[in-house]
Amino acid sequence: MKLSSSIVVVLVLAAVSHSVPPQIQAETKIGFRQLTIVEPVAVQRGVSQQVTLRSNFTLNGTHSVFFDQPGVTMTFAEKEPKEATRSGRGSDGTPFAFDVVVSADAQPGVRELRVATDQAVSSVSHLMVTDYPVFREDEKKVNGTRDQAAAVTLPVAICGRVERAEDVDFYSFEGKAGQEITAELFAQRATASIHGMVVRGPLIYLMDGLMTLYGPNGQVVAQNDNFYGGDSLIGVTLPEDGTYCLEVRDARYAGSGRYVYCVELASRPYAYATFPLSVQRGTTTTAVAIGQGLGESTDVELRGTTDAGPGIVRQRLQTGVGETNPVSIIVSEHPQIVADGKNVSLETAHSLTFPIGINGRFPADDGVHYYSFDAKKGDAFLFEVTAQRLGLPLDCVLEVYDSNGKLQKESDDYLQSKDSKFYWNAAADGQFFLSVRDLHGRGGERFLYHLSAERSGQDFELSGEYYYAQLAPGTNMIWFAKLNRINAFDGPVEIIVEGLPAGVEAEPLTIPKGMVHGAIILKCAPDAKINASLVRVSGRATITDADGTTREVVHRGLVTCEQQSSGGGQARWPISTQIVGVTKPLDLLKVEASPNSVTLKPGEKQEITVRIERQDGFTDPVTLAMSFDYFTSKFGEQLPPGVTVGKASTLRLAGKVLEGKVILEASDKALAVEKLPIAVLAWVSITFSITTNYASNPIHLTVLPKE
């Protein structure tokens, strides 16, 4: 058995409310609650349990905890106010107690969680739901050798952590000859979206788990380093009766208090994939389960129920020896086929019809599969491979060739995924060939893929900076949306924000023709009460197809979180959740801009006056901006092309300075827009890599066309 990583987009649900004593003292320099780890990181289905959630900022005043999947509620359990002690960059955080209740029908797996307090909202942490009883490593007892191994009884979910460099944990259990055992490690998957996981240097980030199983005689029975990303998995048939020991460590002997893990250790049917990987929605299909302890017959049924998908879903498989763990499969709207594996050259290419889903596999190294199709000049197509999102190791490369074998286009990774996806337009009439291969030429039992092939047309994708927002009553906050316009689509796109908490609304925004970005301005009513919710940002547009017909298209935005990288830089990581909270007053009580309407002629400039009001005791500098920048990286923009911020602007408000100015300048080639909502961003530095963002009231910008 080997390895890969998986990201699943899931239903957004919320849970809980709980009142707590007030803050110990008034807070200044208020940033989002930077969560780290949950201990233990797993809770069994149908069980209530207390856990600790660590944070580098206090979680006093927590009133809600939200999860990206249903079935879990979590309530703040501290009886007295508690401050968080920050011991510098990379701190494990202060533990805060929470009571967790998991319903009996909750689906196993790792969940994202977000916290809302009366003062701020949080970054992402993780909690895992497991089928098995939880055994928690006792860090007061040494279990660093086989002789010191902590005894467990199968099935079990072992929760521990590799809390320091060179830490090694051992667990022992009784086994029988012929017994089939699976040990699955959740470490990277249980910490992947945590804001600050840098341990040391650029290469020591998430835990790179390695597991070794020792037999009764002390010899190695099985070992695995990477299976699901950096998470290990061992599947083995035990050779004899006796006491076995499982060793858990980091492959580099790295360690950190944030290196929490869960090992599900059991003797039950375990599947990590099926082949085919997909089923058409509204149908069922027979597949072969791939895994450990599945019995003599591995045939299973995949169910494409009408309420499942489309997309990646998780299903338990029914085998002759019992039910498996949930397995990720694809439910597609399109017909599905299985490639016969003989399409290894241009001459033997499998002919495509559109739309279609193809399931393929590379049983040996250096495999390449070819698919042929006819196209006319200007025809548009969309090709997408899914493998790593299903937990499979294939790092796919897609390539298009013409009938002479000349490369037309190549695609490797796409939007923070190792899975390939690309849009392609035929430059001439003819026959073309699509090839699929692994970037490193690898093959084996787990090198499976699903290829989606369909005709395309004008379209768009939405991403941006809309990870979290915290607003006090009567204030505003700004997010930034970004469009990827596909196949020359240049129409307007309406930005929709669903699920906002009571008292918060979004200024209507339509990104106009000629623009690929815009400002999502959130406004909190003066009488809004403290509350929070998970929200969803989407884009909606009317698109005209080649035949003249129109259709409404709605796409949910890709969500990413801020990740603190080595040296204090920032990276982005895909997540599922977006959170907005109404809070108590923050460091800036007001950011007012005037006028609230600006009209620019090409070559003209206009001045916007910005005045801030500070919370008592807050004296830190405030920076004004019209874009969201981090040093030389630009993460969000809102001004039309050709409109810039003039050098004469006053953008830094330090000391007793409460008023600044933003001078907007329009070039001769500035894009004409009418009443485009923009706002002045006012940001406060909380740490080297964290800011709290505020915004002015909306300003409606008009740029007149050039005469």
CATH of range 13-130; options 1.20.140.10, 3.40.50.300, 2.60.40.10, 2.40.30.10: 2.60.40.10
User: 270-332: which CATH architecture?
Assistant: Sandwich (2.60)
Which residues, in sequence order, are CB contacts of 429 under 8 Å at separation 6+? Answer: 375, 376, 377
Q: Residue 455: pLDDT above 70?
A: yes
Domain 134-266 has CATH 3.40.50.1100: no
Give the pLDDT confidence of 44-103 residue by residue, as tens digits: 999 999 999 999 999 999 999 999 999 999 999 999 999 987 665 567 899 999 999 999
> What are 349's two structure tokens?
């290419």
Three-state DSSP at 177 gives coil
| Rounded-to-integer distance, Cα 665 and Cα 647, Å | 10
| Structure letter (DSSP) for residue 388 | G
**Tokens 């319903």 correspond to what residue?**
103
| Rounded-to-integer distance, Cα 560 and Cα 555, Å | 16
Give the pLDDT confidence of 396-422 residue by residue, as tens digits: 999 999 999 999 999 998 877 899 999
User: 336-456: which CATH architecture?
Assistant: Sandwich (2.60)
Q: Which residues of 426-459 are buried (b: 16+ CB within 10 A; e: fewer)?
A: beeeeebbbbbbbeeebbbebbbbbbbbbebbbb
For residue 102, which of 51, 44, 41 has the smallest C-alpha distance?
44
Give the pLDDT confidence of 534-591 residue by residue, as tens digits: 999 999 999 998 888 999 999 999 999 988 766 666 778 899 999 999 999 999 999 9
Boundaries of CATH 2.60.120.380 in the chain? 134-266, 336-456
Q: Which residues of 527-566 are buried (b: 16+ CB within 10 A; e: fewer)?
A: ebebbbbbbbbebebebeeeeeeeeebeeebbbbbbbbbe
Boundaries of CATH 2.60.40.10 in the chain? 13-130
For residue 388, which of 228, 248, 519 has the smallest C-alpha distance?
228
**pTM for this model (two decimals):** 0.93
> How high is the pLDDT of residue 307?
83
> How high is the pLDDT of residue 4?
33
Give the pLDDT confidence of 2-51 residue by residue, as tens digits: 333 333 333 334 444 444 444 445 688 899 999 999 999 999 999 999 99
> What are 599's two structure tokens?
């009209």
